[in-house]
Amino acid sequence: MNKKKTDISSLRDKINKVDEGLIKLLSQRRTLSKEIIRTKEILNNPVRDQKRESELLNRLIKIGKKEGLDSHFISKIFFEIVEDSVRLQQNFVQSKLNRKEKSKETVNAVIQGIEGSYSYLAALKYFSYYNYELSFLFKKRFDEVIQSVEKGEADFAVLPIENTTSGGINEVYDLLLHTTLSIVGEEKFQVKHCLVGIGEVPLRKIKKIYAHHQAAAQCSKFLETMAHSAIEYFVDTAMSVQKISKEENVSYAAIASEEASKLFGLKILKSDIANQAENYTRFLIASRKPQKVDRRIPCKTSIVIATSHTPGSLVEALNVFRKFNVNLTKLESRPILGNPWEEIFYLDFEGNISDETIQKVLNELGQHTRFMKVLGSYPSQELEHTKLEYSKMITKKVDKGIIERTAELQAPVIKKTKSYRLASREYKIDDTIIKVKDVVIGGDNFVVIAGPCAVENEEMIMKCALETKENGAQILRGGCFKPRTSPYSFQGLGFEALNLLAKAGKYYDLPVITEVLDTEHVVDVAKRADILQVGARNMQNFALLKEVGKSHRPVMLKRGLMASIDELLNAAEYILSQGNRQVILCERGIRTFETATRNTLDLSAIPVLKELTHLPVIVDPSHAVGERNKVIPLAKAAKIVGAHGIMIEFHPDPPNSLSDPEQALYFNQFEKLMMELYKL
């Protein structure tokens, strides 16, 4: 036993030395990044060189694979390092542009709350890239925060403006309308709510929970399980922790951050209690004077407008952005106090106020508004991830040669009105483009959906997710609820499998798709899956089609075993008519007189569907033929005939798969398929 302890101690010492070496190397890289931006300034080069980043990332992945490291692990580290480098360089450029020669190195930031609050943590993150010595002023109310900067007591105000779960913070929006401050920056901070207590105590014994009203809204589902506890709203998350720390009552708890818990020496009773795991708050940084933004830096501008209270006035104003091809990133309305039923609008859009195009936008916008105020122009926190080489290859246009050019000359003429009005080209000429996280489905993009027929256990789905990510597929599939012909066949693990699928997708940053069978399951499945699948057997389950039509998630609709193209499009119409316009069609083979394969893959349906409908079309060759050795050629053929993507089944050990073992590819077969798809 003593020898084992000695061995562990020795290994830990080695790990500590490696970690220390990594820290020193990261510090050296930061120093080099600062030297590079000084050289870029002299040469007037762009802040980012994404072509160089892509080449570097691909080279590092090759090196990493030789060392036994997967590409996802390398990419995650690389993205963090590149983001740090870009922000350092952007802030260097900004500081040089806006600071005087004898600018002070100490700045005062004012927040609503105290040390340990989310505003405090967001401020630390934002200012960490500047060479400032930061000091804080703490206020109880948002109006006091703004007044503190207006009076010169503080240099910057840090204000939460919106949250991905609870939405906009109306009080701050209203204050921005009347303040003289300018927005000079933004910070997006991940909020991880915890239930904090003064000691270990069972949750059933908690009698009172202190919470900021926004935090309570973001954790409403957890609080529903704490019906025995009284909720008392508090002005700030960290202050609520301070409150229970002073009271020293073990039956009292608070909702706050892990950092606040550590600051006051308290215990975390339960972690991650927010309704959504991906819970972010966006903060605005404001100062007395506006700041210029270097034109090499992606920029965002915020304004507030009021239009005349007449039909079409808002549309006319918004059409200005379309005219100048300027992208709106946010539109928020607030009532005008004293003018019942009239609204004022807060807009964020991409662009630098010093650009000529943005000046034209603002000038013309003024013709369609009765009030307009620029709140600020500031660097955007939206940093685009470096693209791997396979992503560029997989999304390049397929050269359709003469067929494509002929189609341009002879556009299809639809002679009669279709029963599937919303799905038809008559209704919408342009292709529908569906974006799921960073994956674009439709248009000229070709996507690969891949994974096992059924999620069997955590180890298996994690292996499949890694295989999906490593080979450039963009979406992870996995069956959780399995509709089987025989009642004795494996029916899936249900919501247990769905949780595992969602976990694997989150870890490897992959959207996930799974089938939903029951109308009662739609809402719960939609909370975890990024795309809902309606299987072939349910193509004409109209109650289910209507229910997924009410969901906000994209829906992949599979063609029925005996369904015509017309019937498929009418089934899609059921979904579209309920309001969900994110429908993906899937050709997965139909039954014919031919019995050589499981089904007959109708590749002719692809060009026909693309002529009749604007909806994206995916091909599932795995279910079509049911034999793994025939999947690869059909998958390649699907891309050649113009499908927007394919869905492929694979398994770590196909013969022992619990579902459809004959059609699942081995990992090496899937890798071969992906390499051949790149070349098409």
Dist. CA 12–CA 9, nearest whole Å: 5
- Residue 45, Ramachandran bin (φ over 0: left; ψ between -120 and 50: alpha; else beta): beta
Dist. CA 590–CA 602, nearest whole Å: 7
Q: Which of 165, 179, 237, 281 is catalytic?
A: 281
3-state secondary structure of 83: helix
Quick count: other Cβ atoms within 10 Å of Cβ 20?
10
Please give the structure tokens belonging to residue 438.
């960073």
Q: Measuring CA to CA, which residue among 35, 623, 78 is closest to residue 386?
A: 78
Quick count: other Cβ atoms within 10 Å of Cβ 440?
17
Dist. CA 166–CA 222, nearest whole Å: 15
Alpha carbon 23 to its chain's center: 29
Q: Which of 138, 156, 283, 446 is catalytic?
A: 283
Q: Which helix (H) or strand (E) holds 448?
A: strand 447-451
Dist. CA 557–CA 578, nearest whole Å: 15
3-state secondary structure of 345: strand
Is 283 one of the catalytic residues? yes
Tell me how far CA of residue 365 lies from CA of 303, 352, 376, 559, 641, in angstroms: 11, 16, 16, 47, 45
In sequence order, what are the residues at sequence separation of 6 or more whose Cβ sits closer than 8 angstroms to the Cβ of residue 47? 37, 40, 86, 89, 90, 93, 294, 296, 297
Is 281 one of the catalytic residues? yes
Q: Which helix (H) or strand (E) holds 378?
A: strand 371-379
350-376 b/e (C-beta count within 10 Å ≥ 16 → b)? bbbbebeebeebbeebeebbeebbebb
Q: Are 342 and 336 in contact (CB under 8 A)?
A: yes
Query: Which amino acid, 316?
Result: E
| Residues involved in catalysis | 281, 283
